[in-house]
């Protein structure tokens, strides 16, 4: 633990590929004393660099490879078991026959034609048929048990079989019906039809020479069904008079399969209340619990201004109403519930958007049974009709069983034998054909698990419905837990299965644990996250595509506004234009004509206190007269006044106009348009102002942000939740615990602007946040660390004031200019002023850290073996040469195996320049196998680094684990050494046998791929003992270079020419305080045998678009930051006094270690004086 406990706060800024971290010591009043630590951590979001184009994650790519390996292992074991059974029944081994082009098909067809009299021949042919089918056995839905294949008849043949039969009929029988031949009989007759012609193609695939491959269509469909081949095997067994027991054992062995469904069942967590397995979120128990837990926290406003709970009758009415929802296209809204169930106005329903017990938030849409929606949402067809009919008639136990089957969480074979609750669901599944089973498997149900078991969920739901109490009271009454009890949470760093999220969890966990060890428990942990911070890179990319479409739509609007004479188009101009278009150029209140230039924007319902609800459904384009007369009261209240009626204003008239809204193309989807109208009508009906903001309503609503909050909160405060101690107060610091808060990114941006930090932060390339300087993540973490709930509320009010005043182009009578908010009369004004003073003190500390290079930018490295694909997927043919022929040095270097390479270079007539001359008597020994004369030996066909695999070769691509730096020398005739630096790029493949050894010092043989494809001068120096190992480099390593001589001729150095020199010169001004800013570079790859690809550590290419045009258009800067980077040879780098920096979890350089961790080193430290 910490040697000295101090009072400090932690800020965490979560982004898509980055995390900002900060620990700030504060005094008793919360003012900053010093920055203990701050850093920006850059990570890859879990994306596999070899699948970057499709944003595939390492987890997904490795999962595909792992499943493929597992499939091949299981296939080999299955065939081994089949061989044992075949030997048991005396079926001879016929492997060579299987290699004949059409032999197995003809053999199978003849077996199905009739009985083979010759016993030996019959047994041989049966062996051929069974082995052939076992290797090409087709597909079976995993819901279908293998025993279902024991009794296949004509009626069970698949659509694929029928298609095959039709093709053969058209080809050989002029479309006339053929009997129900087996697949092999159809193929045999098809082949016979091509007798004397070029060979017919059976399977669909690729054809033609490599490099000019084309699709070639065969007679067989892409995927035959196992039921078709089982039908054929049964026909063969019947024709050849195979006993029933023997036939059944053989058929079961051929189609043996292990379903992956239910494999994770044993890893399900336990409910802390009952000790039973946690329920699926797709289960009806959880879905019903979620509905009831939500609506018990709703309140109804009374005429006196107070709020009351829902009565048990009202609660059950809402619950019953939501249970009946089955159409995804007509989801209910809270407005529907108010109107159809409670018979009140939407404005009378309170609690929407609030957070209730357990950290759950009541969303803007009522919860429904999502599983039921998925079941009833199937597209029309026989499955939809059958499943809906079964679902509506089944009891809840059978439905729950079906949900478990569809969620792949139970072993079908096991429950079929031991659990009667699954009988109805399994009977239904058994009644489906293959096509229906495939569609059934694609039904998407909610994922994940609830905190409680089905038993606990059912008890809590029933109790809340009977009593009308909320979850807190029900849980206490049933399970007798204390007031502060909360469900236990997983460890902070425990993976969730989402690679991007898991990276954030690991980074956050490591930083918090190190802070705890060094400084003790923090007073507060505040987390800020962006929309994409807890999504995968692929999801963020898809979201970006949607944003791009929206941006294109907005650009069209901007163009129209510019053509109309609007010089500078802002967000509020676009909103105003959309409102006028929707309203068909009429004032929403009185119906008079308005235009973009004459209208004003008005809040239909104002908010109590500062600011307003600035959603589009609360904005109306109105004429100036209506806007002035309505003033700052709800529309429904104003519409009842005499002056409004005299003007022709009425609620019914406004609602009618909303129903005839004219939405522009691409503005909203049809469903969104309906919801928009419904929501706006409710706003028009509302007679009371919106409630003022509270601290809880400002916190993040992101599910993953909430998950991170729960984990951190549980780690630091679990003792308070497990005992009867009072939990910490949200509004006060409590040194006995740690307050944890999560905010959206908009709060941090508003804090920077409100405190006056914008324009005064010493970033590279500008004093505002441009995202060019990667340290902005650390700065944001510092800012969010100083955030407090009361301040966040004021900042949100200030932001809403700004939006409202810009959109309405006026300041209400009871408002002040947003720039002057808060005023002395505002609640929390003194705390805000104190916070503002603390932020200016923080600014000095941050600028000092920026100026003197005290904020490191750290990249997490992957040092373990096998951190990416070992090779590319495409298999290339090998080049075959007779051993006795002349073999060039290039071909020898491309030998298909290390053993072959070693055997060839060890021959006495081998020359490094010329290779091997022709020699008929040449003999070699490769792994115990002797080659001589005209025996063929294999070589790789191209110059790319490759390995032999599956009878061909696969390129290794960029599958390097690290690069080793060597100080090499040659000795001249005069005895002087000529020093040069080189590197060996070490492929993962060459480290496979070093799994339990030091990967960075593991000896590399001269026959290894890494040595054979390295620069020859370096390899020669190493093998001759004229090289000294300096150290290793990995992608992500930080290099500090001395570029001082590259900036000024006056300091004795030569100015660095080219793009790097221009880059240094452009940012020279920002690096005057500490030149290390432009001296820090990151290894981004090893593009060839002698060069590194470097990028500036402190700079991000994404920020260029926010810079001055002279920087944006600068080709050198753009190239270095966003394109090829700085490609420079290792030898050139060696002349810049390079230092490789490895850092600890706080970003501090690590120069020594007792734990085998990577350490920093200087290249010059290894130099020997001559």
What is the DSSP pairing of strand 1038-1040 with strand 1080-1085? antiparallel
Q: Which residue has the tokens 């072993």?
A: 411
Contact present, 274 and 338 (Cβ < 8 Å) = no
Distance CA 889, CA 892 (A): 5
Compute φ and ψ for 589, nearest 5 degrees: -85, -55
The structure tokens listed for 635 are 């529309």
* SS3 label, residue 750: helix
Beta bridge partners of 13: 20, 528
| Helical ranges in 419-498 per DSSP H | 423-430, 434-441, 454-467, 471-479
What is the DSSP pairing of strand 299-301 with strand 307-309? antiparallel
The answer to whether residue 690 is catalytic is no
What is the DSSP pairing of strand 960-971 with strand 1080-1085? unpaired
Torsion of CA 820, 826, 830, 833, to 10 degrees: -20
822: cis peptide before it, omega within 30°? yes
Nearest to 845 by CA among 917, 782, 791: 782
Task: List, in order, residues 6 or more apart from 670 with CB less than 8 Å away.
Answer: none
What is the DSSP pairing of strand 524-529 with strand 739-744? parallel
- CA gyration radius for the chain? 37
Q: Which of 43, 132, 529, 603 is catalytic?
A: 603
Distance CA 965, CA 979 (A): 13
Residue burial 841-871, b: 16+ Cβ < 10 Å; e: rest? ebbebbbebbbebbbbbbbebeeeeebbbbb
Distance CA 838, CA 363 (A): 35
Compute φ and ψ for 977, nearest 5 degrees: -90, 135
Torsion of CA 558, 559, 561, 562, to 10 degrees: 110
Task: List, in order, residues 6 or more apart from 135 with CB less than 8 Å away.
Answer: 79, 98
DSSP 1119-1152: HHHHSS-EEEEHHHHHTT--EEE-B-TTS-B---
* SS3 label, residue 33: strand
Distance CA 787, CA 768 (A): 20
Q: Which of 13, 706, 713, 1046 is catalytic?
A: 13
Distance CA 1125, CA 1117 (A): 9
Q: Is 826 exposed, middle or buried (0-12, 13-18, 19+ CB in 10 A)?
A: middle
What is the separation, in whole angstroms, between the first and last Cα of the chain? 50
The structure tokens listed for 554 are 């907005």
Please count the helices (runs of H) and the strands (runs of E) in the chain: 42, 30
The structure tokens listed for 156 are 């069970």
Nearest to 293 by CA among 431, 409, 158, 462: 462
Distance CA 263, CA 240 (A): 39
Distance CA 271, CA 452 (A): 5
Compute φ and ψ for 518, nearest 5 degrees: -90, -40
Distance CA 583, CA 575 (A): 12
Sign of the C-alpha dihedral computed for residues 1137, 1143, 1149 and 1155 taken in this order: negative
The answer to whether residue 376 is catalytic is no
Active-site residues: which are they?
13, 603
């Amino acid at each position: 633990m910490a040697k000295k406990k101090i009072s400090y706060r932690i800020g965490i800024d979560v982004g898509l590929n980055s995390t900002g971290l900060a620990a700030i010591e504060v005094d008793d009043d919360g003012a900053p004393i010093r920055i203990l630590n701050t850093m920006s951590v850059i990570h890859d979001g879990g994306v596999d660099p070899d699948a970057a184009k499709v944003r595939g994650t390492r987890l997904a790519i490795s999962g595909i490879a792992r499943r493929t390996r597992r499939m091949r292992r299981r296939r080999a074991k299955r065939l081994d078991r089949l061989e044992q059974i075949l030997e048991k029944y005396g079926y001879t081994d016929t492997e060579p026959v299987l290699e004949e082009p059409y032999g197995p098909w003809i053999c199978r067809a003849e077996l199905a034609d009739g009985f083979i009299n010759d016993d030996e021949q019959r047994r041989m042919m049966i062996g051929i048929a069974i082995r052939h089918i076992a290797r090409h056995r087709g597909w079976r839905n995993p819901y279908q048990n293998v025993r279902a294949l024991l009794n296949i008849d004509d009626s069970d043949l698949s659509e694929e079989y029928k298609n095959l039969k039709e093709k053969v009929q058209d080809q050989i029988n002029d479309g006339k019906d053929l009997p129900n031949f087996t697949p092999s009989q159809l193929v045999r007759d098809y082949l016979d039809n091509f007798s004397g012609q070029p060979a017919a193609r059976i399977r669909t695939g690729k054809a033609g020479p490599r490099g000019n491959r084309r699709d070639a269509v065969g007679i067989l469909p892409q995927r035959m069904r196992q039921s078709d081949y089982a039908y054929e095997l049964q026909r063969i067994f019947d024709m050849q008079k195979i006993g029933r027991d023997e036939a059944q054992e053989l058929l079961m062995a051929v189609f043996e399969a292990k379903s992956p469904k239910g494999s994770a069942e044993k890893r399900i967590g336990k409910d802390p209340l009952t000790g039973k397995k946690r329920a699926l979120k797709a289960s009806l128990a959880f879905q019903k619990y979620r509905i009831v837990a939500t609506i018990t926290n709703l309140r109804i406003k009374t005429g006196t201004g107070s709020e009351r709970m829902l009565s048990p009758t009202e609660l059950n009415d809402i619950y019953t109403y939501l249970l009946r929802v089955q159409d995804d296209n007509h989801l209910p809204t809270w407005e529907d519930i108010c109107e159809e169930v409670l018979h009140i106005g939407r404005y009378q329903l309170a609690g929407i958007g609030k957070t209730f017990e357990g950290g759950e938030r009541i969303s803007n849409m009522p919860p429904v049974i999502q599983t039921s929606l998925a079941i009833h949402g199937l597209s029309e067809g026989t499955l939809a009709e059958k499943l809906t009919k079964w679902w509506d008639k089944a009891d809840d136990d059978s439905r729950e069983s079906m949900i478990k089957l569809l969620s792949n969480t139970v072993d079908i074979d096991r429950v079929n034998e031991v659990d009667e609750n699954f009988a109805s669901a399994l009977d239904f599944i058994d009644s489906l054909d293959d096509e229906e089973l495939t569609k059934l498997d694609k039904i998407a149900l909610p994922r994940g698990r609830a905190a409680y078991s089905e038993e606990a969920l059912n008890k809590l739901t029933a109790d809340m419905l009977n009593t009308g109490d909320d979850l807190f009271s029900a849980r206490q009454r049933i399970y007798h837990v204390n007031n502060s009890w909360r469900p236990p949470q997983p460890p902070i760093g425990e993976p969730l299965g989402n690679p991007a999220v898991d990276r954030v969890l690991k980074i956050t966990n490591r930083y918090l644990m190190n802070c705890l060890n060094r400084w003790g428990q923090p007073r507060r942990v505040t987390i800020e996250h962006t929309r994409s911070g807890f999504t995968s890179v692929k999801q963020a990319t898809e979201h970006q595509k949607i944003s791009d479409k929206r941006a294109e739509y907005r650009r069209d609007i901007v163009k129209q506004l510019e053509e109309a004479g609007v010089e500078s188009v802002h967000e509020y101009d676009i909103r105003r234009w959309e409102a006028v278009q929707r309203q068909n150029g009429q004032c929403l209140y009185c119906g008079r004509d308005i235009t973009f230039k004459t209208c004003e924007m008005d809040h239909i319902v104002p908010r109590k206190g500062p600011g307003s609800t600035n959603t589009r459904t609360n904005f109306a384009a109105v004429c100036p007269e209506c806007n002035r007369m309505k003033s700052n009261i709800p529309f429904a209240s104003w519409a009842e006044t005499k002056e409004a009626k005299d003007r022709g204003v009425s609620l019914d008239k406004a609602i009618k106009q909303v129903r005839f809204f004219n939405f522009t193309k691409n503005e909203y989807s049809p469903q969104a348009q309906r919801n928009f109208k419904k929501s706006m009508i409710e706003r028009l009906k509302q007679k009371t102002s919106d409630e003022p903001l509270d601290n809880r309503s400002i916190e993040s609503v992101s599910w993953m942000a909430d998950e991170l909050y729960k984990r951190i909160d549980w780690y630091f405060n679990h003792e308070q939740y497990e005992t009867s101690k009072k939990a910490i107060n949200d509004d006060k610091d409590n040194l006995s615990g740690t307050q944890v808060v999560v905010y959206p990114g908009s709060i941090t941006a508003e804090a920077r602007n409100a405190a006056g930090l914008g324009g005064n932060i010493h970033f590279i390339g500008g004093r505002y946040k441009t995202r060019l300087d990667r340290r902005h993540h650390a700065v944001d973490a510092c800012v969010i660390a100083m955030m407090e709930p009361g301040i966040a509320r004021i900042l949100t009010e200030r932001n809403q004031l700004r939006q409202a005043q810009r959109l309405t182009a006026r300041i209400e009578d009871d408002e002040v200019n947003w720039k002057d908010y808060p005023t002395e009369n505002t609640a929390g004004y003194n705390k805000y002023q104190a916070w503002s003073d603390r932020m200016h003190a923080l600014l000095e500390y941050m600028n000092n850290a920026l100026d003197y290079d005290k904020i490191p930018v750290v990249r997490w490295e992957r040092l373990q073996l096998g951190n990416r694909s070992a090779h590319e997927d495409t298999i290339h043919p090998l080049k075959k040469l007779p051993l006795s022929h002349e073999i060039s040095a290039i071909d020898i270097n491309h030998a298909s195996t290390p053993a072959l390479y070693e055997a060839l270079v060890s021959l006495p007539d081998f020359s490094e320049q010329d290779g091997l001359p022709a020699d008929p008597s040449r003999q070699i020994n490769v792994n115990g196998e002797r080659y001589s004369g005209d025996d063929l030996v294999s070589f790789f066909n191209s110059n790319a680094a490759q390995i032999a695999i599956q009878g061909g070769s696969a390129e290794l691509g960029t599958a390097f684990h690290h690069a080793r730096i060597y100080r090499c020398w040659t000795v001249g005739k005069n005895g002087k050494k000529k020093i040069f630096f080189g590197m060996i790029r070490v492929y993962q493949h060459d480290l496979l046998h070093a799994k339990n050894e030091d990967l960075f010092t593991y000896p590399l043989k001269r026959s290894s791929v890494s040595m054979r494809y390295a620069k020859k001068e370096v390899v020669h120096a190493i093998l001759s003992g004229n090289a000294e190992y300096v150290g290793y480099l990995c992608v992500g390593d930080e290099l500090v270079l001395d570029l001082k001589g590259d900036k000024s001729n006056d300091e004795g150095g030569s100015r660095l020419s080219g793009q790097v020199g221009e880059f240094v010169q452009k940012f020279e001004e920002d690096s005057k305080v500490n030149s290390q800013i432009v001296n820090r570079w990151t290894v981004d790859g090893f593009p060839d045998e002698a060069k590194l690809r470097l990028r500036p550590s402190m700079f991000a290419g994404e920020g260029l678009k926010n810079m001055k045009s002279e920087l944006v258009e600068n080709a050198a800067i753009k190239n270095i930051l966003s394109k090829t980077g700085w490609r420079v040879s290792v030898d050139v780098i060696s002349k810049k006094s390079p230092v490789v920096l490895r850092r600890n979890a706080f970003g501090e350089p690590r120069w020594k270690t007792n734990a085998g961790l990577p350490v920093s080193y200087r290249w010059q430290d290894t130099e020997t004086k001559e």
